[in-house]
Structure 1
Amino acid sequence: MMLRAAALFLALAAPAAAQPRDTLTIGITQYPSTFHPNIENMAAKSYVLGFARRPLTAYGADWRLACLSCETLPSLENGGAVRETTPEGKPGIRVTYRLREGLRWGDGTPVSAEDLRFAWEAGREAATGFGPAEYYRSAYELIVEDPRTVTIRFDRVTFEYASAGDFQPLPAHVERARWRADPRAYRTRTAYDTETTNPALWNGPYRIAAVQPGASVTLERNASWSGAAPQFRRITIRTVENTPALEAQLLAGQVDMIAGELGLPLEQAIALERRTGTRFRITYRPGLIYEHLDVRHDHPALSDRRVRQALLLATDRAQITERLFAGRQPIADTSVNPLDPMHDADVRRWPFDLVRARALLDEAGWTPGPDGVRRNAAGERLSLEFMTTAGNRGREAVQQVLQGMWRQAGIEARIRNEPPRVLFAETLSRRRFQGLALFAWISAPESVPRSALHSDEIPREDRNWSGQNYGGYRNPEMDVLTHAIPEELDPARRREMWRRLQAIYAEDLPAIPLWFRADAHVWPQWLEGVRPTGHLNASTLWAEEWRAR
């Protein structure tokens, strides 16, 4: 409280002189573990790189797929996509992308088909560790048509064929030699992490000009950018992992805005708005942000579905969302958001039921011990390691509440948190967590969760830890569905398959669903043009539209 009060006093006492509007300072709660666009998946990296690079395609704030660095979105109707038969006689499709004219890397080198070829070559090599690996396994051939045009041949036809996802140009003139020297060691040798300020790495409206590891990233205008000129000369992104400290910096004027994608927990933003009135513009954007508990499926207790179901039954999610988030976080039944067109409103629900949770634990062979913590026949305690992102006040509060709720069922939770860059880059991606991990998945509209649910996406060393099935979930029918749904082009038939996927998820609980998050975007009143998307593609991909009035 003293810290916040002091910060507020300083802010009120500050002189009212107009500040220059050619710089912008943004506060976020995480720092990227890597700056390479294709290695590891972390929201902080996506947010920062949105200023400095442009993928081929992305979903906008209207949830429609659009070209960013390509000229025209390929389709069967315009001839940019053509069905064909693969050399093995399977149904396939070829998709052609033509790069926009004038795209250049920050050193002036044109962005070319060779940059796409290099990205494809590196992605096809399993030792590189790019994700999602399924995209590169399916894209069995890339043909350079001319310096700005490539055709990619896929060994399957999917309804997502026009979306390039994370496939994007990589500067071959900088990176190819590093990769060829040793694909497995490329993760540690890439210039994105050893020479992050090299202008040749960036093709967006901004380039990364300075980094302070763990603390900040400074972006400056990219002189080689040929698109709409961005207004801000410099953008500084500060990482403050402790959310009360981040709020204090906002009130003291040390940051101009707090990014909703990685900012204040909802309840903290609501309280801030009540105290500060109209000083800031605060927008709440619901989206495809799934807060959940990842589960270690080879854990002796958590491998039993009854224990996972008991954990969910012992969790009073309605009470948590009401107490901590003013009821603004809708409860999740699966990973598919009600905002998504493929959501099944009739999917199984697990209401809070402590009696039933205890009965399931009894059935699974976990009986109450003398201290109230359950034990199995071998005398082992039902004690689970419970991790989340250190410094996130909202998640840490949730941990404390869950720890108390589960104790009523006889489950002990041992809290051990880590900074986000450690939790995501090391502990989760290399499957070093030992029980439960609280974090969020952010998805695109109708995004098939193959990377998180298919058994072939369990990270392992021989694939350099690519994949997002951190818990090691295995279900043969889920494998079939996550592979088959993208191949069904008819929306009605696809909906039936989605319904089955959600039914399996709600029964099997590959992860423990909590709620769908609404992001709180905190902007200065003078900032315009920021358009939160509510999904996987960060608002920074359209940073050239941001303006100060």
Structure 2
Amino acid sequence: MLKIKTKTVFKRRSLPIRMAVTFFLLMSALLGQSVLSADNARGISSRDACVFSGISDARILIPIFADDSTSSSVCGMIYNGLTKVDKDLKVVGDLAESWDISGDGLSITFHLRKNIKWHDGTPFTSGDVEFTYERILDPSSACPYVSSYSDIIDIETVDDHTIRFLYRQPYAPALLKFGMGIIPEHLFKNETDIKRSEYARKPVGTGPYRFSSWKSAEYIALEANEDYFEHVPFIKRYVYRIVPDQSVQFLELLSGNIDSMDLNPYQYIYRSETPEFLERIEKYKYLAHSYTYIGYNQKDPLFSDRRVRQALSYALDKKEIIRTVLLGLGEICTGPFLPGTPYYENDAESYDHDLVKASILLREAGWYDVDDDGILEKDGQEFRLKIVTNQGNQVREDTATIVQSQWAKLGIKAEVQVIAWSAFLDQFIDKKNFQAVILGWTIPVDPDIYAVWHTSSSVSGGLNFISYSNKDVDLLIEEGRREMDPEKRAGIYREIHRRMAEDAPYTFLFSPYATPCVQKRFKGIEPALAGIGYDLIDWYVPEDEVKYKF
């Protein structure tokens, strides 16, 4: 078993004085004077701020193009969709207060809320909804989510507050897909390329928070929308702070300079049990709706033989990865669905650790160590490859180290490259310029996986960046979208799971536990199936605990 020395991997670093001074000046400007408010009357304050820290900056703040986690999260606070999911992951209305579905499932009519305004004061109407979905469906937009709406054949604006979508065929996940954020027609209608619009960095939405400012690689600041239709958020300001190093994030958390972060496993188990932490900070744990994987570029000849991909999967000890990297905070997964759901095939090939089987598969594929140098060869070519992953995610970096070591036992020489997030996406993922990649996907509430796994999604800008293609799986994915019977639909996805496991386009590694933490002055946090951030507008700080004054 490979042992990672935690004192090296999770090395404590001193925060440079210059960084501390810069942060103090930054927060002073953004959040106003920090005060002790013991003299305030008890009650719910609407004056405080929440500073959340993440490892990467956003790329674009237009929801129909936001395909990274930071952009999507920030857009979720600025914009609304027609629908959303509640704490139990059930579909409820957002900008739509109700809807009607025709008996044949070929049309959905949404009745929109009245008196909703964009953050600039312009009334929200059905025209904005029509404009948004026309932009998504426009091929020149190259929207990464277009596959979720490709069965829409017409959009009818009945009046300012009623809109109807007509479908080519029934589409089971339709209501969930209408959670896409709506963008303002009046600001984008004259833009030839809305991705290059000034509003990509200065967004205007209808959501609970208004955009305030964005300093690249440092922070994004939002302010409460005083006209929000549900109610004005109790937290006056929200700041997303970019801190690429989780060790520095943790020091900032302890110093009180940030209010919330996602703990890595070492921090959750070993660093968060001190009196200093427990007195001021609350931590949470629940199985995340996500999975981590190794993806193999199907355009690389090295991975064209699925026996090679299968061997790479058999060579890995997932249990050791979970024990060593996650410190037990994860569950093995074997496919793109959440374990324990009706779509997850428990009998799919799990690729339990088996070096003998891995070696046999590689020999069948023509790989031998012909010169006894410890490296496999085929047709004079050594089995060498590069694993790329993003900087700032310690779990992925440590996983790459273990994968490198375990593959070496088979005679495979792997080099690990850790790349800064922006360059990682721009130079490697977007251009499909990689061999093997360690990344993760969020698992959506609906099992429709068209956008990531269908062959048509492997086009430039698509989410199928490993270029996986299987005609039978494509047909099943399409069938799963049309099937309206829940039990039959679940069976289709279990079959997809089984077939994808056989193909091994990914080595599915694990579903981790989410381990967020929040400063204890924040109240109203109710953990649920949706996590802890679904009800952010209901978080509040008692008057006598307010930190920032406006």
**TM-score tier (shorter):** 0.7 to 0.9
Partner of 2:198: 191
SS in 2 for 1:325: coil
Separation (CA, whole Å) in 2 of partners of 1:481 and 1:528: 45
1:55 and 2:81 are equivalent in the alignment: yes
Separation (CA, whole Å) in 2 of partners of 1:302 and 1:34: 33
1:374 and 2:376 are equivalent in the alignment: yes
Q: CA deviation at 1:60?
A: 2.5
Q: Deviations over 1:114-146 (max 9, x none)?
A: 111111211121110113212332111100011
> Higher mean Cα deviation, 127-136 or 449-458?
127-136
Q: CA deviation at 1:375?
A: 1.5
Counterparts in 2 of 1:459-470, with a 5 A limit? Answer: 459-460=459-460, 465=461, 467-470=462-465
Residues 1:495 and 1:233: Cα distance change in structure 2 (over 3 Å):
closer
1:500 and 2:490 are equivalent in the alignment: no
Separation (CA, whole Å) in 2 of partners of 1:530 and 1:236: 18
Partner of 2:209: 206
**Are 2:296 and 2:436, in contact at CA under 8 Å, matched by a contact in 1?**
yes
Counterparts in 2 of 1:406-421, with a 5 A limit? Answer: 406-421=407-422
Q: CA deviation at 1:541?
A: 5.3
Q: CA deviation at 1:40?
A: 4.1
Partner of 1:474: 469
What is the aligned length?
Answer: 511
Partner of 1:71: 97
1:226 and 2:229 are equivalent in the alignment: yes
Residues 1:430 and 1:165: Cα distance change in structure 2 (over 3 Å):
farther
Q: CA deviation at 1:301?
A: 1.2
Separation (CA, whole Å) in 2 of partners of 1:35 and 1:431: 23
Residues 1:529 and 1:155: Cα distance change in structure 2 (over 3 Å):
farther
Partner of 1:87: none
**Are 2:49 and 2:235, in contact at CA under 8 Å, matched by a contact in 1?**
yes
**Are 2:326 and 2:512, in contact at CA under 8 Å, matched by a contact in 1?**
no
2:264 maps to a residue whose letter is P
1:542 and 2:531 are equivalent in the alignment: no
**Are 1:485 and 1:497, in contact at CA under 8 Å, matched by a contact in 2?**
yes
Query: Which of 250, 255, 270 is the matching residue for 1:252?
Result: 255
**Are 1:50 and 1:539, in contact at CA under 8 Å, matched by a contact in 2?**
no
SS in 2 for 1:71: strand
Q: CA deviation at 1:23?
A: 1.4
RMSD between aligned alpha carbons? Answer: 2.6
**Are 1:63 and 1:533, in contact at CA under 8 Å, matched by a contact in 2?**
no
Separation (CA, whole Å) in 1 of partners of 2:219 and 2:124: 28
Partner of 2:4: none
Identical positions, percent: 22
Q: CA deviation at 1:268?
A: 2.7
Query: Which of 133, 154, 158 is the matching residue for 1:141?
Result: 154
Residues 1:435 and 1:530: Cα distance change in structure 2 (over 3 Å):
farther
**Are 2:87 and 2:534, in contact at CA under 8 Å, matched by a contact in 1?**
no
Separation (CA, whole Å) in 2 of partners of 1:3 and 1:358: 37
Separation (CA, whole Å) in 2 of partners of 1:514 and 1:277: 32
Separation (CA, whole Å) in 2 of partners of 1:500 and 1:340: 14
Q: Deviations over 1:396-417 (max 9, x none)?
A: 1111111111111111222122
Partner of 2:120: 107
SS in 1 for 2:113: coil
Partner of 1:457: 457
**Are 2:336 and 2:443, in contact at CA under 8 Å, matched by a contact in 1?**
no
SS in 2 for 1:506: helix
2:238 maps to a residue whose letter is I
Q: CA deviation at 1:344?
A: 2.1
**Are 2:312 and 2:358, in contact at CA under 8 Å, matched by a contact in 1?**
yes
Residues 1:425 and 1:545: Cα distance change in structure 2 (over 3 Å):
farther
Q: Deviations over 1:283-342 (max 9, x none)?
A: 012132011112100111112111111111111110110122222210011112213232
**Are 1:36 and 1:190, in contact at CA under 8 Å, matched by a contact in 2?**
no
**Are 1:50 and 1:541, in contact at CA under 8 Å, matched by a contact in 2?**
no
1:493 maps to a residue whose letter is K
Separation (CA, whole Å) in 1 of partners of 2:71 and 2:347: 36
Q: Deviations over 1:78-99 (max 9, x none)?
A: xx01145xxxxxxx61101122
Q: CA deviation at 1:160?
A: 1.8
Q: Deviations over 1:168-211 (max 9, x none)?
A: 32100001110xx3xxx442x22332xx335xx12111111010
Partner of 1:356: 357
1:207 maps to a residue whose letter is R
Structure 1 stretches of 4+ moved >6 Å: none
Partner of 1:436: 436
Partner of 1:490: 485
Q: CA deviation at 1:3?
A: 7.8
Q: CA deviation at 1:4?
A: 3.9
Separation (CA, whole Å) in 2 of partners of 1:3 and 1:365: 43
Separation (CA, whole Å) in 2 of partners of 1:530 and 1:243: 23
Partner of 2:67: 41
Partner of 1:23: 49
1:285 maps to a residue whose letter is Y
Partner of 1:89: none
**Are 1:291 and 1:514, in contact at CA under 8 Å, matched by a contact in 2?**
yes
1:372 maps to a residue whose letter is G
Residues 1:319 and 1:348: Cα distance change in structure 2 (over 3 Å):
same
Partner of 2:300: 299
Query: Which of 53, 58, 61 is the matching residue for 1:32?
Result: 58
SS in 2 for 1:137: coil
**Are 1:382 and 1:410, in contact at CA under 8 Å, matched by a contact in 2?**
yes
Separation (CA, whole Å) in 2 of partners of 1:340 and 1:526: 35
Separation (CA, whole Å) in 2 of partners of 1:325 and 1:25: 26
Q: CA deviation at 1:5?
A: 7.3
Separation (CA, whole Å) in 2 of partners of 1:6 and 1:186: 42
Listed as ranges, the gaps of 5+ residues in structure 1 are 75-79, 85-91
1:168 and 2:174 are equivalent in the alignment: no
**Are 2:315 and 2:407, in contact at CA under 8 Å, matched by a contact in 1?**
yes
Residues 1:116 and 1:428: Cα distance change in structure 2 (over 3 Å):
same
Q: CA deviation at 1:421?
A: 3.0
1:397 maps to a residue whose letter is D
Residues 1:16 and 1:67: Cα distance change in structure 2 (over 3 Å):
closer
Residues 1:280 and 1:267: Cα distance change in structure 2 (over 3 Å):
same
Residues 1:96 and 1:531: Cα distance change in structure 2 (over 3 Å):
farther
**Are 1:265 and 1:394, in contact at CA under 8 Å, matched by a contact in 2?**
yes
